[in-house]
Structure 1
Amino acid sequence: MKKRDTLLIVDDMEVNRAILRSLFERQYNLLEAENGEQALLLLHEYEEHVAAMLLDLVMPVKNGYEVMEEMGKSGLVSRIPVIVITSDDTAESEVRAFDLGAADIIMKPFEPHVVKRRVQNAVDLCRHKLHLEELVEEQSASLRESNAIMIDALSSIIEYRSVESGQHIRRIRMFTKILLEDVAKAYQEYNLDSRTIEIIADASSMHDIGKIAIPDSILNKPGPLTREEFEVMKTHTTKGCEMLSGLERMNDKEYIGYAYNICRYHHERWNGKGYPDGLKGDNIPICAQVVAIADCYDALTTDRVYKKALPAEQAFNMILNGECGEFSPRLLECFKNVREDFAALSRAYADGVGPKFKPERKELRKPETIDAVNTMEQGQMKYLTLLRYVDSTVMEVDLNTGIYHVVYMPNRDFELLRSGSRFEDSVRAFAQGSVYPDDRGTVLGLLGDYMTQFFSDGLMKRTRKYRVLDQTTGAYYWCYATLLRVDIGNPGQKKVMLVWHRASDEQQEVLLPSTVKEGMYRGTVISRLAGGVMKCRNDKWYTLADNGKGLCDLICCTEQDLSEKYHNRYLEIIFPADRDRVSQEMVSQLEEGRITELEYRLVTEEGKLIWVMDRSILVTEEDGLEYIYTLLVDVTQSHKAMEELQMSAERYKIILDQTKDVIFEWKIATDEISYSSNWEHEYGYQPIMDGISRRLPFASHINPDDIPDVLKFTNDMMTGRPFGDVEFRLANSEGRYCWCRVRATTQFDTAGKPRTVVGIIADIDDEKRATEKLIDRAERDVLTKLYNKRAARHKISRFLELSQGSGCSAMLMIDVDNFKLVNDRYGHMFGDAVLTEMASRISSHFRDSDIVSRIGGDEFMVFMPGIGKHEIAMERAERLMASFQTMFKNNLKDVPFSCSIGIAYSPEDGSDFQSLFQNSDAALYQAKLEGKNRCMQYCKSAVNTAFEFKEEADRPEDERESAEQRGQVTVAKVISMTFQELYDAADFDQAMNSILEMTGRLFHVSRVYIFENCADNEERCTNTFEWCREGIRPQRDELRNLAYGDMGGDYRDNFNEEGVFYCLDITELTPELQCLLADQGIASVLQCSITADGVFKGFVGFDECGTARIWTQEQVDCLVFLSKMLSTFLLKKRAEDRVRESMLNLERVLNNQNSWIYVIDGDTYELRYINEKTHRLAPESRLGICCYDAFFHRDKPCERCPVRECAGKGSSAMEIYNPVLKVWTLADSSRIRWGDRDAFLLACHDISPYKEGEAAEGVTLLNLEDR
């Protein structure tokens, strides 16, 4: 299952989307839609990526209710939780939303933290449900596999009783599956999906289960059965059903049902002459019909006690021709399609063969030997062949739906039947333009009582006669129009077939003023053709009957050349590479009518190639043969021009393929757009291609915030702007918004109006993301990483502009009281650390959607959009003041911390940034005047009595060196020294202790240590490394084998998502955790987790004892990075230790074996390992020398080498006599991986006592499988 990490936010208000975006942008990838139609488009495109949808109810195009209705119909609502966010708190709205499938409803205005928690709960619940469904499916698959094993075991009983059956059960199962798959393609009415096919194929194993009850004397009789014996044999069908009835307690009722039908009815036949019940036709279950063919084929093609196997081709013909009983004609058509599959499986799974892999069907079914057309296509071909034979115009009509289809039209006399959008229109047009005036009423009767009476009387066929205009001669001829009923088995179905054919019993004609003589048809056709004209027979060679005029001139030859060189075969004049195509296209076009048109190449007498346009008509002459009259036109020059254009297009394509840019062409008049082929490669889905100006605003993958810019661009180009560009975000195949830049040029027609817009869509996402990072860095305060004043001003102004005074927002101005004392007493470096901690404390009290900034010195500004009521801002301000009073309480008792806060509200106190800033600053000033450490809301009268503030409220920031710059030297030094120490270390433990000491001294901490999970229990940990400053008591010997769950709860829960546990003051922790840390003398702590593949493996810690420690962000980042580096080396070292221990254990095991065991390199024959017993037998052997040298004193490999025997099989066994060591051994060899190379393990067992008395030259090679 793909990772679901995307939230879809659907709201037509940009300000609402902005608030929700700020809540979730760090946790999720976000997609946005501003109407229901666009939401559904994105849902269907990114269904597997979307974790949840936040849906507004009141929207244009499609509202939220309609979106949920569509999701319910498609099943999406059960896989994607929908959280409705609305201001409609009526009971009817809630009930309707929940009835449509909403997972939760959140009322506006909302508390952001509550929204985040409820959305996360819905996502987690849905993920858990989907995970459980996967587990259930896995369990079901495992259960089915277990059932299949039991069924195979039960079926094997029959195989061992019936000596001739061999792998009969396996073949039947495969035959059944293959034939069912073809039936499913051809006949959808059987409702055979892949799951049903698998069940039937498995159930086919039980078809002969009843043979268990048949006596061996009958079951394995070598000759024909007597009548009485055959009656006993026939009972195996009913006996098997009795056995299956006893399995009703099995939960899989569907499987048992198929198995029962197959067992009972697989000897029934289509004509009712089978047994045991004599069922006929489709009364026989389709599963039994398929197994019957499979069983019959297998019986014919395998050896039985009473007969020898027949060739597959003979068996195939016997089944098709009814020699084994009559089968369904439909299934026989499918059986033809799988003939090669059946034959290949018979060979692969023949008795006694047993392949190790299942043959691939795509290899078995070769295109050149198997009809590529399925059964339905074959039926269509036969249908069209019949129509061509009768030479009649045929139309199919469904009067219930109004759909009509002219299936076949041999000439253009009935062309008007295709002219109408409805059946009635086509009939009227045909009557008006092609029927003799006196007969038009007869034709129009099809639209009235004639057709009504046809159905009301239940007729199946009705014929009328009228005169039709011959478009070639200009004369009218008599024509029969026959009405045929289709699907007479369904009384409510009103489908008919109309057939028009020329009357042959009367030759009456009514001539127009430009009369022509009877029998002038051929002369008229040829007289209208000009250029290279010929007549040929409609055979496979297109044999020339009359080359007419111009053919010889066209190819620069004589009539004698045509006869002697080309044998009067027109096909031989055609360029060989075009012959197959010409034949195929000719047949294809003649299936639809008598007129053809195609282009191909001819070879002239000089060997040159010329392109010709071939326009032909098929005529049946008096001799009963079909002739093709052809006009050939030389189009070589036009083709050369086309080839030049094609070459030019290919050059452009090569250029385009070298770039990721997408080329597009927008036709303004038709509002259609086409893209270059690399669109789908870049974005993975089909773009909008028509109705651009209409569909773009409502149903596209463009970020809704960018749609106004895109619409402005399209309008500018449509109104005649010659050049234009626009940048916007476009969703890719994974649902991620990527930045694109469109640059386009307008092309104008002769009247100067814009006709086409051509341009490129360039991927600028990397460039844009890099720019955004630089912008974000520029927008941040260097010390606190909060927004600076300029960035905050821009964001707040943008929000106020979008909200247009709707909703309540608040601006808080915060000033730290008496902060100058901190700088004076402890210095600016310490003051920076305090400011960093304050910024973190302020951010923690506000929402992710709130804008928190440092605007200078010790002043901060917070903007809270969409708070709903004033009390929320006041409550946050009071909590912040209380938090400031407890800050550093135990560390800096001589410097009390507090803050003053001024609040202004929008829109009451101002609807633009400048007004809010001035008023909140005025409120802050009032709070300072009234004694500090308090919060004041803006009141104009109170402020005016206190002071007169200036319009420009910006204050200059103090110039000081940034903490980032001061920390760079320390960070670089620690990282460099740590890496060098680990890289050069000969003793890992010593290097690790050295690094801990170096880090502790550089950062002036009390204790640095590492805890690792216990090797035998991941729920416990041990202090493995430790460094302590002078005067600090070590804890390593005491902190061993500790349970995480006993350390004040599960100790691992203290680490955040980044794997960091930071506590400035342990008194803020739980009593249990305080006790645990206080016993170690810890005042503040920073710890970083050690993880491997997401699993907690321990942690690296830094303690400060005595007084609390304030860590700057730079220090935290450095120590986190250092911890990750130590973790990487530590985990690698532990893995190497485990591998080394495993190798030692393996060597101990091999050394204790009572066999000579050694390992040989497969390429060089060098010894890679020798156990102790081998070394005692051959003391001169050692690692690195070749085995034949060490044991046989040879200079080349042995002729009979167990390694060579094993190379092609995976394992082998061989008896070997060693004349040097004078021992007989049975050498078992097998292929293994030794270290990083392929090798062979040889275990040589002493068999000298058993070989006494045998001659050395009689050694026999024994293959392990033969033994």
Structure 2
Amino acid sequence: MNRRDTILVADDVEINRAVLRSIFEEDYNVLEAENGEQALFLMRQYRDSIAIVLLDLIMPVRDGYEVMEEWQADPSLRGLPVAVITADDSVESEIRVFDLGASDIIGKPFEPHLVRRRIQNIVSLSQRHLDQDDCIREQARKLRESNAAVIDALSSIIEYRSAETGQHIKRIQLFTRVLLEDVAANCPDLGLDESRIAMIVSASSLHDIGKIAIPDAILNKPGRLTAEEFEVMKTHAVKGCEILSRLDRMGDRDYLKYASDICLYHHERWDGKGYPRGLKKDRIPMCAQVVGIADCYDALTTDRVYRGAIPPEHAFNMILNGECGAFSPRLLESFKNVRDSFRDLTRRYADRELPQSELVETEPLEDHREDGRDAGQLFQAKYLTLLGGADATVMEVDLQTGLYHLEYLSAPVFDPLRSGRRFEDSVRLFAEQSVLPEDRPALITFMTESVGGFLEREQMGREIHFRVWERGTQGVLRCGCSMLRVDAGSLYHKKVLLVWKIEGEGQKGRDQAETEAAAGAWGDLLGGTFLCLCDPHMTIRKMNDGFCRLLGYGEEEIREQFHSHYRNLIYPGDREEVLRQIREQLRMGNVVEMEYRARGKDGNTVWLLDRAHLTVDEEGNSALFHMLVDVTRSKRAQEELRRMQERYQLILEQTDDIIVEWDIPKDRFTASDNWERKFGYQPIRDGLMKQISIGSHVHPDDLAECAALLRDMAGGKPYNEKELRVADNEGRYRWCRVRVASQMDEMGHPLRVVGVIADIGEEKRRSEFLQNRAERDGLTGFYNQTAGKLRAQQLLEKQGRGSAAALYMIDMDNFREVNERYGHSFGNVVLQEISNRLRRLFSGGEVLIRVGGDEFLILAPGVEEAAARAQGREIQQALQDIIGRDVIRFRFSCSIGISLCPGDGEDFETLYRKGCRALLAAKERDTDKYVLYRDEPGISDGENEPAAGNTRIDTEDDGFDGLAREIFDALYGAGDAEKTLVRALELVGRRLGLSRVSVIRSCGDGERCSLFREWCGEGAVALREVLQGVPVADLGGWESFGANGVFCCADVTETGGEDGAANPMAAALEKTGARAVFRFAVRDSGDYRGWISFEDCLARREWTGEQRESLAFAAGIISLFLLKMWT
């Protein structure tokens, strides 16, 4: 049973998606859509893994109502539960939403815990429904097994009732299965699979159940039935359908529908001349058509009370030629394919009981057959239309078995070809009845004796002309017959098509002299021409001088050395391919075009472009007239290009990156195979600019960046780079770096864009870890003030002007007493518990900041005044009794100042200032109070109030957190990458009082290194001219770094070797003028790429554990930035 683990959030407001994501991301994978069109795309893409859809009503492109309407109309999506999240609480809206099938409505603003519980309840209920559906399907399968016993009983009644039935029912099941399997392979539009085939096979056993109602005297009459008796016999179809209609309590309605259709319509015929309804063509159910053929064949090939059995070959010819009524042309093609299987089954199951195990019963499927004609039917219709337009009679003949099928009859003069048990019989009958006596021997010889040589020489075709006597006009008509080989590529297929046609007076043959003369003249200009037979040797009949000059051989040499076989002139490795191309292309028309190699007299290989046209020679043999062009130069250029592509492909195979190309004029996007290996699906190919916003897997927050990238490149920007999130086939977003460049046409306009998509998930995770560590307070996990201020400003900007929000300034009353009584360690435990309780209260998209030692700031979006007051009370209650009274005797309380957006301001500075004033008012009033800024009209709003930007975090670990954040901001702020790097190095050097901070980069194989960038302070000498291509060993070597990638030295002058010898490390460090050194290795997947060096050139420096940690963390941030620069 499939467990669904993904939630789709569809909302055009980014802050709303962020809040919902924060609620569910711990328990579910979260997909996001910013408009209705994208939501529908993701619903269809991930319908098997989505547990619920959280849908906003007001969205661009398509709103929530339109999404639900299409969701209801699409059967594949109906199982997905949808919960609507909206601020519209009108009765009309709620009625419409529930009428469209929503599982629940959640109003905005919402309480996170309540939303989580309601959504979990819906998901749990939906999963139970899915589990119940699986149980119901299993029960249905068992019910079908029990119903099978009833079907077997009914079938047995028919067998005992009819003297001629015997094994008929069981053979019908086997014939039906074999024929259906071939139809399924050649007619995929019918939707036949194993389950549906098994259902039809089982239902076919009831096709004659209506014979129970036929009197014995008629059912088992030994002679031919009278007209009245046959009318009674015909009623068995209707009576059988009536019997089956009383079995509807069996419960399997699909099965009974098939059985009823087969029972009622298996005697209908394609031309409408069947019974009982006289239906035509595809109005007859497909299952009944198949069983009708099987029933007809079995009736012909088995003994009946009124006649003996007919040989299978004769029965096939009778059915194919319409002597038993007309059947579907498509089904007749499949009937031809299963001839051998039918014949074997007829012999194997003629007189013995069929093993029960061969009657397969499997689960049924719905009938997915579409109305209208499919490609196969259209091809058949076009084929027959062509024959009608060409006024030709066509006969298909299998010379191995003698079976033949008159596929189209164009004129009554060819009507005798219908008769005869075998092909030879029909030809002789036609010759005797219609062909003039003097032409009969040649026609019979052509159709019998000459056929053997025609097939052995593997010729494509032959022609013969003869005259026939037309009885209607009492005149002589000149006719022709073309013999065309079918499946000429196999020696074991001996099928031919005979095309019979009445010719006009002027068409006594084909005169190719004028055509060949003109083609020969052109051939002299183009290169060469020759005429050859359509045999495996390509026997040459004629050639021109250009042909001889092309290969360097004379006509006499070609006859003597190569026996006039053009095949021997072709390069050995290309011979079979040339013959295959001729066969394949002649099946589609009478023109052949190909390229191959030939051997010249001088031993060189010549590339030839060969264009050939099907014709006949003077003797009526099929031949090909070839025109050759020397294309050796162009093929050599193509070969060089192919080798370049192979080298390019080898490079692609060695990388995990995805190579992409965008054809701008065609708006077509292609990607290397790595895309499907990485994401599990094929990307958008056509209409990229249009589809990117509504049908792509790009994260909604990155769609604008992605669209801007496309617009810039289409506008002619030479290079661009973006970082985007793209969902894989499991709905997980992956971080990717996209680097693209434009290719211009001769006019300087952008023609195509090529680029590389690299997976930077690991890099992002490392970056986010470092950024999170730099932004977070180490004790509580809340944002520190620098990062928190930035996050709060971003939140207010995202939600837009006029939106509601509440800012809470929280200060613990008398917390200093806790530290004084119980110590700072205990105080830290209390602060952690305070942060945990606040985090539980605010579990949505709020920004939580630790401002000072026991002071906190919380910015909560979407909170109105009433909710803010209630939240203030909840905070007070949550922070009381943090530690149980039985542990310590201390009463915890807090004071809270609250400012509201937009009433008290819409920017963070203003809200923070007024929140501080409200907090001061709360403390002046009394402890354990909360005050709203608007409730205190006497609060001053003067210039001396504290400002958010000037407030320092009053904690012992603030220095490290602040430095890390400043380094991060310096590196990832706007500006040139190299300049931002130097700015970050200077920041570290000045804050820590260092003389020099430098970056050393390894060169080539890692044995040498050079200075990459440096910052020098007081007492330091620049090393750019000194450190260029220096051996790494001269600076201490890679082995100087420990397992953690750190080397630390307090004073290089005190670095001594063993036994008092001079330590080479000291000499190496003295070269740089450094006194105290701290180095941090830059490593990528274990490989050393360089190091970052922090140096004091003036004095000894003891690197404490805290300083080492601080420097290592700062170096880690810089290291990540360097690796990105060097990639």
After TM superposition, the score normalised by the length of structure 1 is 0.57
Alpha-carbon distance change, 284 to 954 in structure 1, aligned in 2, over 3 angstroms: closer
Q: Report deviation, 1:374.
A: 9.9
Q: For residues 607-622 of structure 1, what are the structure 2 equivalents within 5 Å?
A: 609-618=605-614
Q: Report deviation, 1:740.
A: 0.4
**Whole-Å Cα distance in 2 between the matches of residues 877 and 126 of structure 1?**
37
Could you tell me which residue of structure 1 aligns to residue 204 of structure 2?
Answer: 204
**Whole-Å Cα distance in 2 between the matches of residues 644 and 297 of structure 1?**
61
Which residue, 892, 899, 912 being the options, matches 1:897? Answer: 892
Moved more, 350-359 or 586-595: 350-359
After TM superposition, the score normalised by the length of structure 2 is 0.63
Could you tell me which residue of structure 2 aligns to residue 336 of structure 1?
Answer: 336
**Whole-Å Cα distance in 1 between the matches of residues 715 and 249 of structure 2?**
76
Deviations 1:153-196 (A, max 9, x none): 55457779999999865553343244245556777998978776
Task: Return the letter of the residue paired with 2:13.
Answer: M
Alpha-carbon distance change, 300 to 40 in structure 1, aligned in 2, over 3 angstroms: same
Q: Report deviation, 1:807.
A: 0.8
**Whole-Å Cα distance in 2 between the matches of residues 189 and 947 of structure 1?**
80
**Whole-Å Cα distance in 2 between the matches of residues 912 and 543 of structure 1?**
92
| 1:934 partnered with 2:929 | yes
Task: Return the letter of the residue paired with 1:831.
Answer: G
**Whole-Å Cα distance in 2 between the matches of residues 759 and 278 of structure 1?**
65
**Whole-Å Cα distance in 2 between the matches of residues 289 and 150 of structure 1?**
25
Could you tell me which residue of structure 1 aligns to residue 50 of structure 2?
Answer: 50
Q: Report deviation, 1:565.
A: 5.0
| Greater RCO, CA 8 A, separation 6+ | 2
Contact 2:592 2:612 in 1 (8 A): yes
Contact 2:52 2:80 in 1 (8 A): yes
Could you tell me which residue of structure 2 aligns to residue 1229 of structure 1?
Answer: none
Contact 1:172 1:291 in 2 (8 A): yes
Deviations 1:109-158 (A, max 9, x none): 44444444444444444444444434333332332233224423554577
Contact 1:595 1:616 in 2 (8 A): yes
**Whole-Å Cα distance in 2 between the matches of residues 178 and 254 of structure 1?**
22
Contact 1:176 1:291 in 2 (8 A): yes
Q: For residues 861-1260 of structure 1, what are the structure 2 equivalents within 5 Å?
A: 861-867=857-863, 869-892=864-887, 894-938=889-933, 942-944=938-940, 949-951=945-947, 952-958=950-956
Contact 1:884 1:897 in 2 (8 A): yes
Contact 2:785 2:953 in 1 (8 A): no
Alpha-carbon distance change, 192 to 909 in structure 1, aligned in 2, over 3 angstroms: same
**Whole-Å Cα distance in 2 between the matches of residues 865 and 653 of structure 1?**
52
**Whole-Å Cα distance in 1 between the matches of residues 213 and 673 of structure 2?**
66
| 1:83 partnered with 2:78 | no
Could you tell me which residue of structure 1 aligns to residue 1082 of structure 2?
Answer: none
Q: Report deviation, 1:795.
A: 2.1
Q: For residues 211-610 of structure 1, what are the structure 2 equivalents within 5 Å?
A: 225=222, 244=244, 247=247, 249-256=249-256, 258-260=258-260, 262-263=262-263, 286-295=286-295, 297=297, 316=316, 319-320=319-320, 330-339=330-339, 342=342, 351=352, 354=355, 376=377, 379=380, 382=383, 386=387, 522-529=516-523, 530-536=525-531, 539-541=534-536, 542-575=538-571, 578=574, 581-582=577-578, 585-586=581-582, 596-604=592-600, 609-610=605-606
Could you tell me which residue of structure 1 aligns to residue 692 of structure 2?
Answer: 696
Q: Report deviation, 1:305.
A: 12
Contact 1:532 1:548 in 2 (8 A): no
Moved more, 635-644 or 175-184: 175-184
Deviations 1:232-281 (A, max 9, x none): 99799578678646535433455345435545765777799999x79787
Q: For residues 610-689 of structure 1, what are the structure 2 equivalents within 5 Å?
A: 610-618=606-614, 628-689=624-685
Q: For residues 116-135 of structure 1, what are the structure 2 equivalents within 5 Å?
A: 116-135=116-135
**Whole-Å Cα distance in 1 between the matches of residues 355 and 730 of structure 2?**
45
**Whole-Å Cα distance in 2 between the matches of residues 614 and 947 of structure 1?**
92
**Whole-Å Cα distance in 2 between the matches of residues 892 and 569 of structure 1?**
108
Could you tell me which residue of structure 2 aligns to residue 17 of structure 1?
Answer: 17
**Whole-Å Cα distance in 2 between the matches of residues 621 and 630 of structure 1?**
13
Contact 2:812 2:855 in 1 (8 A): yes
Task: Return the letter of the residue paired with 2:11.
Answer: D
Q: Report deviation, 1:712.
A: 4.2
Q: Report deviation, 1:739.
A: 0.5
Could you tell me which residue of structure 2 aligns to residue 1057 of structure 1?
Answer: none
**Whole-Å Cα distance in 1 between the matches of residues 630 and 23 of structure 2?**
71
**Whole-Å Cα distance in 2 between the matches of residues 269 and 950 of structure 1?**
95
**Whole-Å Cα distance in 2 between the matches of residues 776 and 164 of structure 1?**
86
Contact 1:846 1:876 in 2 (8 A): no
Contact 1:266 1:289 in 2 (8 A): yes
Task: Return the letter of the residue paired with 1:954.
Answer: R
Could you tell me which residue of structure 2 aligns to residue 59 of structure 1?
Answer: 59
Could you tell me which residue of structure 2 aligns to residue 1150 of structure 1?
Answer: none
Aligned length: 826
Q: Report deviation, 1:784.
A: 3.4
Alpha-carbon distance change, 741 to 34 in structure 1, aligned in 2, over 3 angstroms: same
**Whole-Å Cα distance in 1 between the matches of residues 697 and 246 of structure 2?**
59
Moved more, 250-259 or 678-687: 250-259
The SS at the match of 1:679 is helix
Q: What is the alpha-carbon root mean square deviation over aligned residues?
A: 5.0
Q: Report deviation, 1:642.
A: 1.4
Q: For residues 672-751 of structure 1, what are the structure 2 equivalents within 5 Å?
A: 672-718=668-714, 721-749=717-745
Show structure 2 runs of 5+ residues with no match.
362-373, 393-500, 961-1127
| 1:855 partnered with 2:851 | yes
Deviations 1:650-688 (A, max 9, x none): 232233123321101234455443322322232233323
Identity between Structure 1 and Structure 2 (%): 45
**Whole-Å Cα distance in 2 between the matches of residues 170 and 786 of structure 1?**
78
The SS at the match of 1:550 is helix
**Whole-Å Cα distance in 2 between the matches of residues 99 and 359 of structure 1?**
44
**Whole-Å Cα distance in 2 between the matches of residues 387 and 322 of structure 1?**
18
Contact 1:269 1:278 in 2 (8 A): no
**Whole-Å Cα distance in 1 between the matches of residues 304 and 685 of structure 2?**
64
| 1:792 partnered with 2:793 | no
The SS at the match of 1:37 is helix
Alpha-carbon distance change, 228 to 960 in structure 1, aligned in 2, over 3 angstroms: closer
Alpha-carbon distance change, 857 to 880 in structure 1, aligned in 2, over 3 angstroms: same
Deviations 1:1049-1068 (A, max 9, x none): xxxxxxxxxxxxxxxxxxxx
Q: Report deviation, 1:872.
A: 0.8
Alpha-carbon distance change, 343 to 118 in structure 1, aligned in 2, over 3 angstroms: farther
Deviations 1:1001-1053 (A, max 9, x none): xxxxxxxxxxxxxxxxxxxxxxxxxxxxxxxxxxxxxxxxxxxxxxxxxxxxx
Alpha-carbon distance change, 915 to 278 in structure 1, aligned in 2, over 3 angstroms: closer
Task: Return the letter of the residue paired with 1:640.
Answer: R
**Whole-Å Cα distance in 2 between the matches of residues 879 and 635 of structure 1?**
87
**Whole-Å Cα distance in 2 between the matches of residues 599 and 384 of structure 1?**
34
Q: Report deviation, 1:290.
A: 2.3
Show structure 1 runs of 5+ residues with no match.
361-372, 392-500, 508-517, 963-1267
Contact 1:209 1:236 in 2 (8 A): no
Alpha-carbon distance change, 577 to 294 in structure 1, aligned in 2, over 3 angstroms: farther
Contact 1:333 1:375 in 2 (8 A): no
Q: Report deviation, 1:218.
A: 12
| 1:835 partnered with 2:831 | yes
Task: Return the letter of the residue paired with 2:929.
Answer: R
Could you tell me which residue of structure 1 aligns to residue 804 of structure 2?
Answer: 808
